């Protein structure tokens, strides 16, 4: 892969990683409620889900997903249901930022990892994003090294971006301000996630 081709892949992937959505909400929730390490675990679990989709795209399974309406619909509604569940959880303050800060409870790292990877894998739009993206680079993935670069680039970029988000949100000055408005943050997060769930279904 040439440097110019890799830079194109880098740019498009970075834009995708920085786009706000349910992934950002989940990383922010675990960072604020459970600390920096939890946010970083969520970030890299999410990146692992992207790596899975990158591998599936290289093997042509993403194309099968696009050509199978039933499978795509099942994943779409499964992802929407998961987003809705997270949204309702935040709205009712069960296991949300406000509840965790008030009780001093910590979500397990396994839960952070699970939610990070699921929010990635249960988003069919990520599969379509990779299908559209990788169609431009698939001819560069004939060698093992080319495939490794194409998979590693979104994995590292996504993980590093959300690690940065976790580091910023876990700063002491940020956390102190969040504590003052934790319940409002839960409500806003819940509304955003429910809105995203509705958008997935109605799109």
Give pLDDT tens digits for 8-64: 778 877 877 776 677 887 888 888 878 889 999 999 999 999 888 888 777 765 566
**pLDDT tens digits, one per residue of 149-175:** 888 988 999 999 999 989 988 887 766
Say if 147 falls within a structural domain: yes
- For 95, the domain range is 3-9+22-202
Say if 15 falls within a structural domain: no
Name which of 94, 90, 109, 102 is nearest 31 in CA terms.
109
Q: What is the pLDDT of residue 200?
A: 64
Q: What is the pLDDT of residue 163?
A: 95
Say if 178 falls within a structural domain: yes
Q: Tokens 């995203």, residue?
A: 196
Predicted TM-score (pTM) of this structure: 0.67
What are the φ/ψ torsions at residue 13 (nearest 5 degrees)?
A: -65, -40
Q: What is the pLDDT of residue 47?
A: 94
What's the total number of domains in the chain? Answer: 1
Q: At what angle do helices 22-34 and 109-121 cross, to 10 degrees?
A: 170
Say if 14 falls within a structural domain: no
CA 131 to each of CA 11, 114, 120: distance values in angstroms, whole numbers, following the listed order: 16, 24, 15
**pLDDT tens digits, one per residue of 79-126:** 678 668 777 877 775 555 555 555 445 678 888 999 899 888 887 667
Higher pLDDT, 134 or 198: 198
In the structure encoding, which two tokens stand for residue 171, read together?
């700063």
Say if 143 falls within a structural domain: yes
Say if 26 falls within a structural domain: yes
């Amino acid at each position: 892969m040439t440097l110019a081709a890799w830079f194109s892949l880098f740019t498009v992937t970075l834009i995708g990683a920085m786009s706000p959505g349910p992934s950002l909400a989940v990383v922010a929730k675990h960072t604020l409620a459970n600390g920096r390490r939890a946010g970083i675990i969520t970030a890299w679990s999410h990146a692992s889900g992207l790596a899975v989709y990158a591998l599936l795209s290289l093997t042509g399974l993403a194309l099968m997903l696009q050509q199978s309406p039933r499978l795509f619909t099942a994943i779409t509604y499964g992802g929407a249901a998961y987003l809705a569940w997270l949204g309702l959880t935040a709205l009712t303050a069960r296991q949300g930022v406000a509840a965790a800060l008030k009780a001093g409870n910590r979500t397990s790292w396994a839960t952070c990892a699970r939610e990070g990877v699921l929010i990635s894998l249960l988003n069919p739009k990520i599969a379509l994003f990779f299908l559209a993206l990788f169609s431009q680079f698939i001819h560069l993935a004939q060698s093992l090294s080319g495939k490794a670069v194409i998979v590693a680039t979104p994995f590292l970029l996504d993980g590093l971006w959300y690690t940065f988000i976790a580091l910023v949100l876990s700063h002491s000055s940020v956390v102190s301000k969040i504590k003052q408005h934790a319940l409002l943050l839960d409500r806003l997060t819940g509304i955003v996630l429910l809105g995203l769930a509705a958008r997935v279904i109605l799109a």
